Amino acid sequence: MSRLIRLTAIFATMVVTAFAHVTVQPKQSMPGATQRYALRVPTEKFVPTVRVEVEFPSNLNVTAFELKTGWKIEQKRDGSGRITRVTLTGSLAPAETTQFYFTARNPVNEGPLVFKAVQIYEDGTKSEWTGGEGSKTPAPVVELKK
């Protein structure tokens, strides 16, 4: 019986791993709108997530990133003061999910906003969520349309 339980746990983890990745919600927003976004981070490995690095689309104006208990947020800004990337450092246990909230002003044109995210685990391994749609490592995407 214990073998069956172990196999079931392994299978369940594989299914979660196949569908879990860093995402940005909502998946659709309006051009030119000020939007509150949620960066959703799951830990799909057997070790905790300890760091997440996110590069924002160059045409997105991120105005604020909300603090989260237990996490350190380091913001990188360009010469004009615009937030271009964040590094989130903390600990997210295996099979857990958390969300980080930020506010941004969308560009005025319709089209996709592609975020690049790198998730780093306690054992030093990385999941780079920078691939195209349909890849094994898709980057988070928000579609801007009226």
In a domain, 99, yes or no: yes
> Is residue 12 over pLDDT 80?
no
Phi/psi at 59 (5° precision): -95, 10
The sign of the CA dihedral 59, 39, 26, 66 is: negative
Number of domains the chain is built from: 1
Which pLDDT score, from 0 to 100, does residue 16 have? 41
CATH number at residue 70: 2.60.40.2230
> Is residue 3 over pLDDT 60?
no
> Is residue 121 over pLDDT 80?
yes
Q: Span 15-37, mean pLDDT?
A: 84
In a domain, 128, yes or no: yes
In a domain, 51, yes or no: yes
CA distances from 23 to 11, 41, 42, 98 (A): 23, 7, 9, 11
Q: Span 9-24, mean pLDDT?
A: 58
pTM over 0.75: yes
Domain span at 59: 21-144
In a domain, 61, yes or no: yes
